[in-house]
Chains A and B, each alone.
Chain A
Amino acid sequence: MVFAFDAVAAVLLIPLGAAALLAMLPGYHLTARLNVLAAFLTLLAALSLLLGERPEPGPYLLIDDLNIVFIVLNIFVGFTTSVFSASYIAHELEIGRLTPTYLRFYHAMYQVLMFAMNLALVANNVGLMWVAIELATLTTVLMVGIYRTHEALEAAWKYFILGSVGIALALFGTILVYMAAHPVIGEGLDAMVWTTLIDHVGAFDPALLNLAFVFLLLGYGTKVGLAPLHAWLPDAHAEGPTPISAVLSGLLLNVALYAVLRFKLLLAANPEALASGPLMVSMGLVSLVFASFMLYRRRDIKRMFAYSSIEHMGIITFAFGMGGPIANFAGLLHMVMHSLTKSAIFFAVGHIAQVKGTQNIADIRGLTETHPWLGWGLVFGVVAISGLPPLGIFMSEFLVVTSTFAREPLLAIPLVFGLLVAFGALLLRLNGLAFGEPCGSTAPAEASYVPMFVHLGLVLAAGLYLPPPLIAWFQKVAAALG
C-alpha cells in the first residue's frame, strides 16, 4: 500500500528531480547517462506500480485500470527513447547543430516533459490534468524550436498558437464540467475530482455536459492531432529533434487522447447526454482519409510519418467512437502498437537522416543495400505501421474493420478506403527509400539499434500472442469504456 503510493510519487518526482539536476549539470556524457538512468528508474517505479497493489484514489492522484495502461506504456517508451536520444544527440553535437547550453536545456526539458505527461495520466482531478497537459504542450513547444532554424521557429510558433487556443478551449470545457457538477456535488474541490464526478454524473445537467464535451474534444483534440485541428503536428514532428518527434507521436498524442477518453466516460455515464460516439467517429474518419491523401505529396520523411500518426490517431479515435467491447479493445491495442511502432520508425528515421545528411525522401535510396539494419528496420516498421501481419496493428485493424463492417457497413467503406490509400502512399515511398539503386553516403551509422528492434520485437510478439493478464486488463478497460 504505502510502497505503491511511493511508487506513484516516484513516477512523478524522479523526472522532476532529474530535470532540476540536468538543468545544472554540464557535459554531454554525464547528462545523457543521467537522462537514461532517470528514465530507467521511473520505469522501475512504474513496473512496481503495475505489479504492486494500487493506492486508494486521493483528491489529486488516481491509479486505475484505464490509466495504468497509459502510464506503463508512456514510461517505457520514454525510457527507450532516452536511450535512442543519447546516441542521436551525440551526433547532433558532433555536427554542431546543438550547443552544450541547448543540450542542457534539452535534457532538462525532456524530463519535465516526462513529468508533465505522467502527472496528466495519474491526475484524479480534471483541473490538475488540464494543467499537466498544458505543461507538456509548452515543453514540447520549446523543444520543437530548439534548432532555431527558420523552419523550426515557424513550426514552434504555429504549434504554440494553435496549442494555446487548444488550451483555452479545453479549460473552458473543464469549467463547464465544474459548473455542471457543482449543483449536484456542491462547491469546492470535490466537484473536480474525477472519481466523485463519475459517481454523480448521472444527475448532471446534460446540456452543460454536451457543451463541455464539445470544447474538450476540440481542445484536447488539437493535441491528439485530429484533422482539421492537426496543423501543428506535421511541422512540429519534422523540424524538432527526432527523439522529440518520437515522443510526440508515441506519447503526447496518447495522453491527449486519454483525456478525451476520460470525458467520454463521463458522458457515457449520463443517460440524457448526447452519445459522444458519432462525434469521435466522424472526426476519426476525417483525419484518417485526409491524412492518407496528404501522405502522397510529402518530400520530408519525418513529415510523412507525422501524417501517418494523424492517420492512426484517426483510426484509434474511430475505434473508441464505435465503442463496444471489440472496438474498444482494438482501440487500446492499436494505440499501444502505434506508440511502439511509430517511435521505432522515428528511431530508424533519425539515424537514416543523420547518415544521409538529409530528410528529403528523394535523396535517400537503396537503404537495404547500404545500411541493411536501418533499411530492414524501416521496412519492418512501415510494414507494421501499415497493418500487415504478423504484427500487432494487423490484429487491431482486423478487429476494428470486421466489427465495424458487421455493425455499420457504410462506415467501414471509408475506413477501408482510407487504409488502402494510406498504404499505397507509404509503400510507394518505402519502395524508393529501401530499394533500388543506392545513392548518398554509405558511411556506416553509429546507431543504437536496440530500442528500435526491441519495439519491433514487442510489436511482432503482440501480433502473434498476447499474454492473458494483459488481455484481461484490456478487456476490463474496454468494458469500462462501454
Chain B
Amino acid sequence: MTGEIASRALSVEIGLWSVAALLGTAILPVLRSRSPIARNLVYGACLAACSVALASALTHLLGLAGRHAALTLPLGIPWIGAHFRIDALAAFFLVVVNLGGAAASLYGLGYGRHEAAAERVLPFFPAFLAGMNLVVLADDAFTFLLSWEFMSLASWALVLAHHRDSDNTRAGYIYLIMASFGTLALLLAFGLLAGTEGGYTFDAIRAGEHPTRVGALVLGLVLLGAGSKAGIVPLHVWLPLAHPAAPSHVSALMSGVMTKVAVYGFIRVVFDLLGEPNWWSGLVVLLLGGVTAVLGVLYALMQHDLKRLLAYHTVENIGIIYIGLGLALAFSANGMQAAAALALAAALFHVLNHSIFKSLLFFGAGAVLTATRERDMEHLGGLIHRMPYTSFTFLVGCVAISALPPLNGFVSEWLTFQAILQSPDLPQWGLKVMVPAVGGLLALSAALAAACFVKAFGVTFLGRPRSDAARTASEVDRFSLAAMFVFAALCLLAGILPGFVIDSLAPVTLSLLGERMPMQSGVPWLSIVPIAESRSSYNGILVFLFIAISASLAAYVIHRFASRALRRAPAWDCGFPDPSPVTQYTAGSFAQPIRRVFGTLVFQAREQVEMPPPGSLQPARLTVKVRDFIWDGIYAPIAGLIVLVSERLNVFQFLTIRQYLSLVFLSLVILLLVLALWL
C-alpha cells in the first residue's frame, strides 16, 4: 500500500519536475538566444521533458487506472496552497499535451533554423508547454486559472514573435483580449462554485452542493470561458487570426493541443466538479457543437491561406468534440451511463485524433512555408514533385481529418454516430428530435471537410506550380520530416487498432460517469463493438488489409498478365492543353460551387464579373465579397460602443477647474442628501 501511495505521488512529481525543467529552459535562452546551441538546447530539453512526462502519464493512464495521485505545494493562495492531482482524465490529457509537445519540439529542432526572431520564440516555447501541463495538473481554482492564463500569455508572446507585421499585432491583441475575457468568465464560475467561504480546492467544490440555478450559471460561464479558448462559434474569432500568426510548430501546439486543454477545462468543470447535469445543458452544448462544426468548416472553405484554413478546421473539430460532450451530458442526465460513456469516449478519442492530425497538418503547412515562404494556396501547386515526403504525410493528415477509413478520424466520428443512434431511448422530446438533426449537421460537416481538404491538398501539392517559389521548392530537413512521419504513423495506428485506445479511455469514463464502454481487447479479429455485436461493429485493421490486398492484387494481376507499358505525353485536356499554369483550377474557383450553395446563405457571398467591352484588351475580373456575419454582427458593434462611450466620457478630461469643483460640490451635496433622507 505504501509503495503504491509512493508510486501515486510519483507520477505527479514527475509531471511537476518536467514542468520545472521546462520553466528552467524558458529562462535559459533569454541572454544568448541567437546561437544555434541555445536553439538545440531548448528544443532538445523540451523534447526530453515532454517525453518523460508523456511516459509517466501513459503509465498512469494504463497502469493505475481510476486511482489518482495528489500533491500540495505551499504556493499560490497562502491558506490553500497549490494543489496538484493526476486522475485518469488528467492523465489522458497529459498524454495529449505532451505527445503534441514532444512532436512540436522535435519539429522545432529543424524548423527553428529558419526562425528569424529566435529570441522571441525560444524563451516562450517551453513556458507555453509548461503552462499547458500545469493547467491539466492543477487541482484548485487558483492554480488552474493561473496556469490557464499563463498559457495564454506565453502563447500570446509567441503569436507576437513576428510583431513587425501589423496583422500579427492585431491578432495578438484580439487573442489576448478574448483569452482574458474567457479567464474572467471562468473566474466568475469558480467564484460561484467556491461559495462565500472561498473553498477553492477542487475537492471542496466537488463536496459542495450546487443548486440548479448555480449549475446553469456555471455552465454558461464555462461555455464562455473554456469555449472562447477552444473556439466555439461565436467566440472563435481570435483563433484563425492567432494560430496562423505564430511560428508553425507553435501553431500546431495552439491548434492541436491548447484547444484540447480548453476542452479539458470544460470536462473538468462540467463533468467532474458540477455534479449531476440536467438534460437541457446537454441540449445546449449539443447545438453549439453542431453549429460550430458546420460554420467552422464553411469558414474554412472560404479560406485560401493554408494555415488559416487549418485553423478554421480546428473550430470545426472542436464542434465535433462538443457534440460528443453534449451527447454524454444528455445521456448521463437521463441515467443512460453506458451511452454516456460511449459518447464521452468518442469525444475524447476525437480529442486525441485531432491533436495528432491537426499538428501533423500544421507541420506540413510549416514545411511548405519554409520551402516556399508562401501561405497563400493560390501561389502554390505541384509540390508533390518537389517535396514528396511532406506531401505524403500531409495527404495522410488530410485523409484522417476528412474522417475517411481506415484512418483514425473516421473511428471517432463513427463512434459519435453510434452514440447519436442511441437517441431514441432519451425521454425528452427536444433531445429525441434534436440529436439526429445534429447528427445530420455532423455528417454535413464531415462531407464538407472532405471537400475542403481535396481543395487544400489538390491546390497546394497537386497540379502545376503557380509561382517560382513553388517551382523551386525543396524538401525540408530530417527533424521536421521525422515529426511528421511519427504522427502519420500514429494516425494509421489509431485508425486500425482503435480498440486499444478505447480501452485506455475506459478509466476516464469510469471515473467521470461510473461506466465504461465494453471491453474491446476481447473482441475477435481486433474489431470494435461500441454496444453489441448485433448493433454495430467496425474493424479498422481488416478494412485496411482488404483494401491493401485487393489493390495490390489488382495491380499485380494487371501488371503481370495485362500490359505494363507506359508512355509520358503532354496532358490531353480534351485536346486543348494550355501550357500556362494559371489555367488551372485555383482554390477560389474550386470552392466556387460550394460558395454558391452555402456561402450565399451564410456569408452573403456576392460575385460580380466585370467583363471588358469586346475588343478591349484588359482582362475580365471576378470579385467575390464574403461578409463575416459574426464579426460584423457581434464584435464590431461592441467595439463601436466602447469607442463611443470613451469619446463621450473624454470631455471629463477637459473641464475647467470650476467645473471640477462643481463635481466635488455635487457629490458632497448628494451624499449629504443621502444622509438627510435615508438615515
Contacts and interface: CB of A to CB of B under 8 A. Distances in A.
Q: When A and B assemble into the complex, do they touch directly, with CB atoms less than 8 Å apart?
A: yes
Interface of A: 157-158, 161-162, 165-166, 169, 207, 210-211, 214-215, 217-218, 222, 228-229, 231-232, 234, 274, 279, 290, 293-297, 326, 366, 368, 383, 386, 388-390, 394-395, 398-399, 401-407, 409, 412, 416, 419-421, 423-425, 427-428, 431, 435-437, 463-466, 468, 471, 475
Contact of A435 (B169, B181, B649): B169
Contacts of A368: 163
Interface in B621-649: 642-643, 645-647, 649
A63 to B, nearest CB: 24
A420 B195 contact: no
A437 B663 contact: no
A427 B149 CA distance: 15
B187 interface: yes
**Most B-side CB within 10 Å, residue of A162, A274, A399, A402:** A402
B180 interface: yes
Given A162-B657, A463-B146, 15 more contacts: A157-B657, A228-B667, A229-B663, A231-B655, A274-B675, A294-B653, A368-B163, A389-B146, A394-B146, A402-B194, A403-B191, A405-B191, A406-B194, A427-B177, A436-B169
Contact of A405 (B176, B192, B645): B192
A424 B173 CA distance: 8
A231 B654 CA distance: 10
A423 B175 CA distance: 13
Contacts of A210: 675, 679
B458 interface: no
Query: What are the 7 closest A-B residue pairs judged by CB atoms, nearest first?
Result: A402-B191, A405-B191, A296-B646, A435-B163, A231-B660, A471-B78, A389-B146
A401 B655 contact: no
B234 to A, nearest CB: 17
Q: How many of chain B's residues touch chain A, expressed as a range?
A: 35 or more
A215 B200 CA distance: 39
Interface stretch (B69-77, B580-588, B593-601): B69-77
Contacts of B146: 389-390, 394, 463
A428 B660 CA distance: 29
Contacts of B142: 395, 398
Contacts of B319: none
Contacts of A409: 192
B572 interface: no
A50 B188 CA distance: 37
B672 interface: yes
Given A231-B660, A466-B78, A389 B145 contact: yes
A424 B77 contact: no
Interface in B128-170: 141-142, 145-147, 149-150, 153, 160, 163-164, 166, 169
A415 B647 CA distance: 21
B346 to A, nearest CB: 34
B135 to A, nearest CB: 11
B184 A468 contact: no
B229 to A, nearest CB: 15
A218 B671 contact: yes
A375 to B, nearest CB: 11
B187 A424 contact: no
A371 B147 CA distance: 29
A218 B79 contact: no
Majority SS at the chain B contact face: helix
A297 B188 CA distance: 29
Contacts of B74: 465
27 contacts: A158-B657, A207-B679, A211-B675, A218-B664, A228-B664, A231-B663, A274-B679, A290-B649, A295-B646, A326-B198, A383-B153, A394-B146, A394-B149, A395-B142, A398-B145, A398-B187, A401-B188, A402-B198, A405-B187, A409-B192, A412-B188, A421-B642, A423-B177, A431-B172, A435-B163, A437-B164, A468-B78
Interface in B665-679: 666-668, 671-672, 675, 679
Contacts of A165: 661, 664
A466 B74 CA distance: 9
Contacts of B550: none
B79 A471 contact: yes
Interface string B109-141: 000000000000000000000000000000001
B173 A428 contact: yes
Contact of B188 (A161, A169, A405, A464): A405
Contacts of A475: 79
Contacts of A435: 160, 163-164, 169, 172
B652 interface: yes
A166 B664 CA distance: 9
Given A218-B667, A229-B663, A416 B647 contact: no
B643 A406 contact: no
Nearest to B649: A293
A404 B192 CA distance: 9
Contact of B642 (A296, A326, A383): A296
A419 B671 CA distance: 26
B563 interface: no
Contacts of A234: 653
B153 A388 contact: yes
Nearest to A325: B198
Contacts of A366: 163-164
Given A162-B664, A388-B180, A465-B74, A402 B141 contact: yes
